[in-house]
Structure 1
Amino acid sequence: MSFASPFSLAICTITALAFLGLPIGHSMIAGSILYLLLAGQDMGTAAEQLLNGMYTNYVILAVPLFILAAEFMNIGSMTDRLLTFCNALVGRFRGGLAHVNILQSIMFAGMSGSAVADAAGSGRMMQAMMTRGGRYTASYAAAVTAASSVIGPIIPPSIPMVLYALISNASIGYLFLGGVIPGLLMALAQMVIVATTARRRNFPIEPPVGLRALPRITWQAFPSLLMPVVLLGGIYGGATTPTEAAALAAAYALIVSAGLYRSVSLRGLYESLAVSARSTASIGMLIAGALVFNYVVTAENIPDTLRGILAGWELSPTAFLILVNVVLLLLGCVLEGTAILLVIVPVFIPTAKALGIDLVHFGVVVVVNIMIGLITPPYGLLLFIMTNISGEPLRDIVRECLPFLWAMLVALAIITFVPETVLWLPRLMGYQG
């Protein structure tokens, strides 16, 4: 491929604009339009691809609805009650609040589908709880919050899995089921690190909650705990599609927060809608840019070319998965996860199909890789969020995150090389892949 070819110039344009600070979605649209111009194609094709992609993929609507559900939880007291419930369960162990942080991420994961929503929502409260009275250093509290937030998009529902379903045509329902055991495995790996560190640093033990108080705390948190049941029960019971379930989740969160807990003000409602709109617009531009750029990639026959190259290497399915893991982990150090998912992953999917790799298993492996990238320096988005929340230097948070990062890489290896960790639950529910 010539460096002066339309595709090469488009790539250079996208890279240059991104480095200059233009959002990656806008950069991809600009580079793709330049390609169409230089290739002599109708530049209106960009608008056609964008509109067709956005308006014919009903599943995209699930993304803003899951974001909205998370915001409705945060403006109410649903998150507070979940934290109290988690503290009653695991606060009594050494390093209890760190375990609480991980447990609440597991529960929050069944409601929001977003790592950023988890870190930005309950992250502030966990940071304050863990550092109160000097019980934990601010950098350690921030590291635990960042690492545990990774669990959110692995356990269903999951916004990245919705986007993966968009590009692969894999079943969202089975992808959601496939993420349950890997998500719990990631949580277990993190809890092992917390337990080991707690003994070494002599972390405090929280006052145990008496058995008499436990039923009351559980009852107060019960409407919040019921949300994943409502959400996933609708999907797997056949009553709702994933998109309809996302709308149901948002409505349920608002009804519980405003009607039952009576903790929603008009100002809070407005702010939650505004934050959701901004987040949706940001993700929407990424999707739009990816849809246009994917047309360019297809027009240049990049997927088939890559498949031919990989076929020449005669990779086994295991070797291919190792290659994908290495590439995605390296890209996660410098690129935003959604951009990787929408631009890079579609290039690998034809080869995965040709090698007989199950697309549900491949999708979960991809999502786990991308989530690990959220706490991988130098770009890790969750690291920046927790730096802002905690006020601690990035280097201190990164240092505390490293043990969690190594533990999650071990979990990723298990998920990659033991497909049944992903496929057991979907097959139990009738998946034939």
Structure 2
Amino acid sequence: MSFAFALCLVTLMGLAAIGMPIAYAILVSSIAYLWAAGDGIGLAGKILLDGMYGSFILLAVPLFIVAANIMNAGTISDRLLRFCVGLVGRFKGGLGHVNVVASLIFSGMSGSAVADAAGIGKIIIDMMVKSGHYTRGYAAAITAASATIGPIIPPSIPMVLYALVSNTSIGFLFLAGILPGLLMGAVLMAMNWWISHRRKFGVEDPVPMSEMPRLTVEAFPALLMPAILLYGIYGGVTTPTEAAAVAALYALLLAGFFYRALSVRNFYGILVDSARSSAAVGIVIGGALILNYIVASENIPDMMANAMAGLDVAPLTFLLGVNILLLLLGCVLDASTIILVIIPLFIPTCNLLGIDLVHFGVVAVVNCMIGLITPPYGILLFVINAVTRIPLAEIIRDVWPFLGALLIALMALILIPEITLFLPRMFGYQG
């Protein structure tokens, strides 16, 4: 390890330890490396611009953010929730099931766990608490857990970032996320059903079946968005980035003209908020591009791959080890940083061991999403605490069973790659 790289690591860990945002810590530590290595600081700008302008797929990130914010701002979320209440609200733990199903549906529109939790999540928490059948902590915990599904079912911003660092097909990654997302929803609903029986939660008054046609018609245009998105990509009509633009336009037409729930003033606010969110992601991406250049310059990924080859590690053992590491890192780092900075280190080893990169990517993203609800620093826990003012201790106390259920789903994905690869192979994936 060179002195410059050691300085980079010490600077990064030191700045992160004193509380500097990780994106800024990465940028400062990367600049420290370039200075110590005798390279011009202008090289950082060149790496950043080359990486940004050479990655057309990155345009999908702000477009998906805009689409999610428009969905949250209009009455689309309310219509989807009424449809979900009619669909599964009649069962034991009904509003908990509604919470999970709403996240499954909304995940096909937003691609963001935070957008799911802060938008439709706040509404369903209020519904669960006002019903009198659920505690505040339980409502918040299942909302945080179900929001992790958002970036698994397409569209998915984290998978766009993984495609950037792994040169994997974003189309096949999107397809590969569908069954794992449904599995996550199934285990969360099973856990909700079990806890509801154990704690004897009350049952909501069922929506008459005669109301279902009307609720379905109201929600149908919103339910079409995932279908339009997937058809555009897999029907060869659009690229994933163009599909993101179509998703944003469709959300705008739906909220502004069809449902008439979006004013010009609100739309301006949405664009401002989306720009801020996109800029925050962009800073992390920019820092990661420079840091990845440094890691590649130091030949760290190849050194790791050769070390693993020398140890004769089995692919399953490697996968389990990486996932344990990612779970630990997920307690202290956000998903974007893990995907952009940490995961690229393992990709050469995956190639060497014959681990499919689509399978690895989906498992890694699921792992990162679980990290969003892992105490003590799960970002989704803080987001829900901020938007609902429910004490963090209450949320953490009730989130453990759902965290355990998601870990069971993660283990199934690791041990049974076919869950992830079944749909991509149906559409011609040869991995």
Give the alignment's TM-score, normalised by structure 1.
0.98
| Counterpart contact for 1:6–1:39, Cα < 8 Å | yes
Q: Give the number of aligned pairs.
A: 431
Please give the residue correspondences for 1:22-421 in structure 2 after superposition, counting only pairs within 5 Å.
22-421=20-419
- Structure 1: which 4+ aligned runs deviate by more than 4 Å? none
Cα distance in 1 for partners of 2:302, 2:209 equals 62
Cα distance in 2 for partners of 1:34, 1:128 equals 48
Cα distance in 2 for partners of 1:13, 1:227 equals 45
Measure how far apart 1:133 and its partner are. Answer: 4.4
Cα distance in 1 for partners of 2:234, 2:79 equals 27
Measure how far apart 1:311 and its partner are. Answer: 1.8
| Counterpart contact for 2:92–2:197, Cα < 8 Å | yes
| Counterpart contact for 1:138–1:390, Cα < 8 Å | no
- Range 205-214 or range 168-177, more displaced: 205-214
Measure how far apart 1:201 and its partner are. Answer: 1.1
Cα distance in 2 for partners of 1:253, 1:308 equals 48
Secondary structure in 2 matching 1:174: helix
Cα distance in 2 for partners of 1:406, 1:41 equals 47
Cα distance in 2 for partners of 1:148, 1:22 equals 29
| Counterpart contact for 1:361–1:419, Cα < 8 Å | yes
Cα distance in 1 for partners of 2:76, 2:391 equals 31
- Range 34-43 or range 237-246, more displaced: 34-43
Secondary structure in 1 matching 2:150: coil
Secondary structure in 2 matching 1:264: coil
Cα distance in 1 for partners of 2:389, 2:38 equals 51
Sequence identity, in percent?
56
Deviations 1:26-68 (A, max 9, x none): 2211111111111112222111100000011000000000000
Deviations 1:140-184 (A, max 9, x none): 000010000000001111000000000000000000000111110
Deviations 1:358-386 (A, max 9, x none): 11001001001000000001110001111
RMSD over aligned Cα atoms: 1.0
Measure how far apart 1:314 and its partner are. Answer: 1.2
Measure how far apart 1:204 and its partner are. Answer: 1.8
Which structure 2 residue ranges, 5 or more long, are not aligned?
Answer: none
Measure how far apart 1:215 and its partner are. Answer: 0.5
Measure how far apart 1:134 and its partner are. Answer: 2.5
Amino acid at match of 1:58: F
Secondary structure in 2 matching 1:357: coil
Secondary structure in 1 matching 2:209: coil
- Range 189-198 or range 259-268, more displaced: 259-268
Secondary structure in 2 matching 1:110: helix
Deviations 1:204-235 (A, max 9, x none): 21211212211011001110011111111101
Measure how far apart 1:303 and its partner are. Answer: 0.5
Secondary structure in 2 matching 1:226: helix
Measure how far apart 1:402 and its partner are. Answer: 0.4
| Counterpart contact for 1:155–1:180, Cα < 8 Å | yes
Residues 1:26 and 1:126: Cα distance change in structure 2 (over 3 Å): same
Cα distance in 2 for partners of 1:28, 1:45 equals 15
Which structure 1 residue ranges, 5 or more long, are not aligned?
Answer: none
- Range 153-162 or range 25-34, more displaced: 25-34
Residues 1:209 and 1:133: Cα distance change in structure 2 (over 3 Å): closer
Cα distance in 2 for partners of 1:15, 1:212 equals 60
Instruction: Choose the corresponding residue for 1:14, options 12, 15, 20.
Output: 12
Cα distance in 1 for partners of 2:132, 2:209 equals 28
Give the alignment's TM-score, normalised by structure 2.
0.98
Cα distance in 2 for partners of 1:99, 1:202 equals 15
Cα distance in 2 for partners of 1:422, 1:370 equals 16
Measure how far apart 1:23 and its partner are. Answer: 2.3
Amino acid at match of 2:27: I
Cα distance in 2 for partners of 1:342, 1:84 equals 38
- Range 272-281 or range 15-24, more displaced: 15-24
